[in-house]
A and B are shown apart, each in its own frame.
Chain A
Amino acid sequence: MNMLVESFQHRHAAHCESGVASSMLSHHGAKISEAMAFGLSSAMAFAYLPFVKFAGFPLIAFRMPPKAILRGMVKPFKMRFHFETFRDQIKGMARLDEMLAQGRIVGIQTSAFWLPYFPADMRFHFNAHNLIVFGKEGNDYLISDPVAEDPQRCDAENLRKARFATGLMAPKGLLYYPEEIGQKTVTPAAVLRAIRKTVRIMLGPVPIVGVRGIHMVANRVGKLDSADKLSLNYVGHIVRMQEEIGTGGAGFRFLYAAFLQEAADITGRQELKVLAERLNEIGDGWREFALKAVRMIKGREPFAPSRLAAMLHTQAEHEGEFFRALKKAVA
């Protein structure tokens, strides 16, 4: 059976969930960029979760948990999202076909490990990878994976495994599509509300979240034993969470800076453009940290945990100043 939603347009994005949100809403008439989807859902954050282990190392997230972006679209666009999970895998696949036959594009949650078009070195067991299915040709589904430059294909068997992978954050066959979008443009009020929420999260009192969370990771890094080989893996892990997994820290800062530029135009508050510049510099600071860490991993300079910790503390201070200024700008 061949099906194709011809009007659908694939877009390349830095992050899967904001990419899916932007493509899906744009397809349904609410034309928004990835940066707008990311900012409007208050997705930028920082969290250090030592009790959640990711391949033996603590989870360090530079954004809100999975599904926050999709859920964040509901209020600003007065929309109703249809979310559906399945116990029965065959039913889950049949429902996807049924939706495609109706001419819908369908968002699904998958495990990256099972997607054949992923480069082998990138196929890890990560269960919260979002993508859009926009057609089917024979046994192949036509996939718009936001992190891929061009549309991809995935055979039915692998897609079933990807949708029904088990473990942490198991997708359980989740599929979703908008049932109704009541508001097709972005309002200044929604933008300001979203920024205020991000400010609250980043400057909040929880020690493992926001600016305080960055200080906490810095302290942890400062205590690493430079004689232990795994310490370098710990540092590499932070950089990986930052640069690789869902574009990470620096990437999300640049993405949010792009949002602030759009926000300035929508709200007419020009100081947001100045703040976008500052955040761009903070993003560069994260990149410098990554570069320094990699030089140490490669042995080009001695491994000095205290040096890295100092850089992280500086990042935390800069983000603290930035969000206090942002708080004033949206007051």
Chain B
Amino acid sequence: MDVGDVPQEGNRTMGGHRRAMYARDVDGRIVIVPSRGGEVDETVTLQALDLIREMTEAAKARVLAGESSPLEYWMYAQRLDLPQLSQVTGFWQWRIRRHFKPERFAMLSADILLRYADVMGITVGQLMKLP
């Protein structure tokens, strides 16, 4: 890649930051060039975020229908999935799946709720309901 080919058209997921890239200058030396990003990287990040958003919305619909607990909604909203939530909390996946049942969720101890809220970076108050 030449210095002039470094993407600069912008990538809105980068929040105005620039990332360092390596490209060849006129003398043939490969140098560091700050990049504003471009369509390629923006597209794939947005695609990944869209997939998470779809799962979050689907979970929200299930919570509203009384089929799932707000825990499932917050899991996706905070960019986790079941295997990841299991890894960060140390709870088995089957146990977390049980906590998706609204009646089980309502009976959870303060300790367990706090553990979930902590790894997600929200308060227990937030975790208890949809935003």
Contact = CB atoms under 8 A, between A and B. Distances in A.
B29 interface: yes
Interface in B29-49: 29-32, 34, 39-41, 43-49
Contacts of A240: 44-45, 47-48
A330 B14 CA distance: 40
Contacts of A213: none
A280 B88 CA distance: 39
Contacts of B31: 258
Interface stretch (B16-24, B58-66, B96-104): B16-24
B37 to A, nearest CB: 9
Given A14-B22, A251-B22, A283 B87 contact: no
A125 B87 CA distance: 11
Given A55-B81, A122-B15, A233-B51, A294 B43 contact: yes
B19 A161 contact: no
A180 interface: no
Contact of A239 (B44, B81, B119): B44
A156 to B, nearest CB: 15
Contacts of B129: none
B84 A167 contact: yes
B110 interface: no
Contacts, number: 128
Interface string A96-128: 000000000000000001100001111111000
Nearest to A298: B43
A236 B44 CA distance: 5
Nearest to B24: A280
Interface stretch (A198-206, A284-292, A303-311): A284-292
B131 interface: no
Interface in A135-165: 147-149, 161, 165
A250 B35 CA distance: 14
Contact of B45 (A233, A244, A258, A276): A244
B42 to A, nearest CB: 9
B47 A236 contact: yes
Given A123-B79, A166-B119, A149 B34 contact: yes
Contact of B121 (A53, A114, A287, A293): A114
B22 A149 contact: no
A233 B21 CA distance: 25
Interface string A229-269: 00011001101100110010011001101100100000000
Q: Which 8 A-B pairs have the closest CB atoms?
A: A119-B15, A121-B13, A258-B30, A254-B22, A167-B88, A167-B87, A240-B44, A236-B47
28 contacts: A12-B20, A12-B34, A14-B21, A120-B15, A121-B12, A122-B15, A123-B79, A125-B80, A147-B19, A149-B18, A165-B119, A166-B119, A168-B84, A233-B48, A237-B44, A239-B40, A243-B40, A244-B45, A254-B21, A258-B22, A276-B30, A280-B30, A283-B1, A287-B40, A291-B40, A293-B44, A294-B40, A294-B44
Given A239-B40, A254-B22, A297-B44, 17 more contacts: A13-B20, A53-B83, A113-B79, A113-B121, A114-B121, A121-B46, A122-B15, A125-B79, A166-B119, A168-B84, A236-B43, A251-B21, A254-B23, A261-B29, A277-B28, A290-B40, A293-B44
Interface of B: 1, 12-24, 28-32, 34, 39-41, 43-49, 51-52, 79-81, 83-84, 87-90, 119, 121
